[in-house]
Amino acid sequence: MSSIHIYWDESHFWGLMVQRALQHWGIPHRLVRAEEIAQGVLAGKLDSEVPHVLMVPGGRARGKRDRLGVAGIKAIQDYVQNGGTYMGFCGGAGLALSENLGLCPWHRKSFSDRLQHFLSGHMHVALNRENKRVPDELGEQALIPVWWPGQFDQQDNEVTVLAAYREPGPDFWVADLCLKTLPRGTLTDWENLYGIRLKPDFLQGTPCVVNGHYGKGEYILSYAHLETPASPQANLWLAQLLGSLLGQTLPTSAIPAWDVACRPVLWENETLAQARRQLESIIETGQQHFLLFWRTPWLLGWRRGIPGAAINSLYSMICEAQAHLPTSQAEQFWEKISGQFEQAVTLLQQGVTGYLLAERLAMTVYHSGPTGLAPNVLAEQRAALFGKPTMPGGIYSDIVETLETLHWKLQGRP
C-alpha cells in the first residue's frame, strides 16, 4: 500500500532526498512518472490506491510541467480538487503556482538580480503559530534550509503564510561566498565601494512556506527543503506535517546524515562502478583546482558558474543506484541501455575534465590581458556538456534521464 506518491520526473538529487525522508520514517510510498499521472495513477488506476499525499520534490518546475502535458496537469488538478493533498518543495512548490498547475493563485516572483537566486544554507524563519500546520514545539521561529530557492509573489487572497524569512543562519552562502567567513561590515563596504548588493535582506518578511485550498483538497508549498538530512527543526516540521496528513504519529527524529560516498554497494555492476569512478575523477579534478569542494558529505560546493549541482546529482544518483539490490525490471532495462550509458559517461568525463581545466586557466590568466578563453567560449563548452543554466541539456541530460528511469525501475516499476 502506498500512502504517498512522489512525482519522480525532473527531480534527480532532490527526489532522492524526499525518498530518504520517507524511508527513515517508514512511510509507504511509490515513485510515479508523468505518464502514469496522465493515465490516472492518482485516481487509483494502474494497480494503485489513491494516495493521501502527492509529494513533488525540488527540480526544474518548467521541466516537470512539460513532462506532465495537458492530461497530467488536469490529473493533478482533479486529484487535489477531489480532496487530495499536494506537497511541493522548491521546484515542486513552483510547479503548483498559477503559471503552471494553478493550484495556488500566487505567481513566482522574478529576480531583479540573478544573485538573488544563488542563496543556500539555513535561514531563521518566523512561524505562524496560530496555524495547525505549524508544530507547537518549534515556538515562534525555526532554523530551516533553503537551497537556491525561488520566491513567492505574495498577493492578498486566501493563501496562508506558515513561515516567513528572517535573517541568515550560520551556514548561509550567497553564490560561492560563505557569509560567516566575511568580517563584519564587508557586505556594506562592498555595496558602498562597488555598488554590489549581496545582502539577502531582500528576503526579510517574505513568505517561505504557504498553505491553501483548491477545491476539497489542499496544498503545502515550501521553498525551504524540510527534507534536508540532519536538519532537526525542518525534519520535525515535515514529520508532523506528514503525520497529520496520514493520521499517524510519526517519530520526530532527524533524518540521518547522508554520506553519499559511504553508501553500501549492494548491486555489484561494473558499468555503474566505472561511472562512479569517473564522476569521482571529475570531482577530484575540480577539488585540485579549487573549483569544487564538499560543503557536507551529501552536497558539493562550487565556484560560481561551475555546474556543481549537475555533477552532484549524477554522483549521488549513481551511488544510490549501487546501494539498491536490483529488481528484474532494473536488470532488463540496464542490459539494454548500459553500453550507451557507459559511452556517454566516458564522453562526459573527458569533456568536463577539459572544461574544468579551461575554467581554471581562465581564472589564472584573467588579469594578463585578452586571451582565447573568452567567457562565451567557456559558456559554449558548458552548454555542450550540460545545456544552458535554465534549460539542462547536452550529454548530461541523457545520462540523468537514464539514471532517473533506472531508479524508478529499482522500485519494481515496469
Q: For 42-96, write each residue's pLDDT tens digit.
A: 999 988 889 999 999 999 999 999 999 999 999 999 999 999 999 999 999 999 9
Mean pLDDT, range 407-413, rounded to an integer: 92
Residue type, 37: I
User: Are 83 and 174 in the same domain?
Assistant: yes
Query: Do 68 and 118 reside in the same domain of the chain?
Result: yes
Residues 242 and 274 reside in one and the same domain? no
Q: How much of the chain, in percent, has pLDDT values that exceed 90? A: 86
| 365-397 confidence digits (pLDDT tens) | 876 666 667 778 899 999 999 998 778 899 999
Number of domains in the chain: 2
Please state the rounded mean pLDDT for residues 102-124: 90
Instruction: Report whether 32 contacts 67 (CB < 8 A).
Output: no
Say what the pLDDT of residue 391 is. 84
Cβ atoms of 2 and 19 within 8 Å: the answer is no
151 and 109 in contact (C-beta within 8 Å)? yes
Reported as a single tens digit per residue, the pLDDT across 292-323 is 999 999 999 999 999 999 999 999 999 999 99
* C-alpha dihedral sign at 124, 129, 135, 139: positive
Which amino acid is located at 124 in the chain? H
Considering 246, 279, 305, which residue would you say is the last residue of a domain? 246
Q: Confidence class of residue 364 from pLDDT cuts 50, 70 and 90?
A: confident
Compute the distance between CA of residue 290 and CA of residue 358 in angstroms, rounded to an integer: 13
Is 251 among the domain residues?
no
The residue behind cell 581562465 is 362
Q: Please give the pLDDT value at position 1.
A: 43
Structural domain boundaries enclosing 115 = 4-246
Domain termination site, one of 246, 270, 305: 246
Q: Which amino acid is at 301?
A: G
Same domain? 242 vs 342: no
39 and 74: one domain? yes
Is residue 334 included in any domain, yes or no?
yes
Is 255 among the domain residues?
Answer: no
DSSP strand pairing (107-108 vs 160-168): unpaired
Same domain, 52 and 151: yes
Q: What is d(CA 24, CA 276) in angstroms, rounded to the nearest whole number?
A: 25
Q: Answer yes or no: is pLDDT of 266 > 50.
A: yes
User: Among the three residues 188, 222, 246, which one is the final residue of a domain in this structure?
Assistant: 246
Residue 28 CA to residue 5 CA, distance in Å, equals 9
Place of cell 497529520: 244
- pTM of the model as a whole: 0.95
pLDDT number for residue 390: 76
Same domain? For 241 and 303 the reply is no
Instruction: Say yes or no: 92 and 159 in one domain.
Output: yes
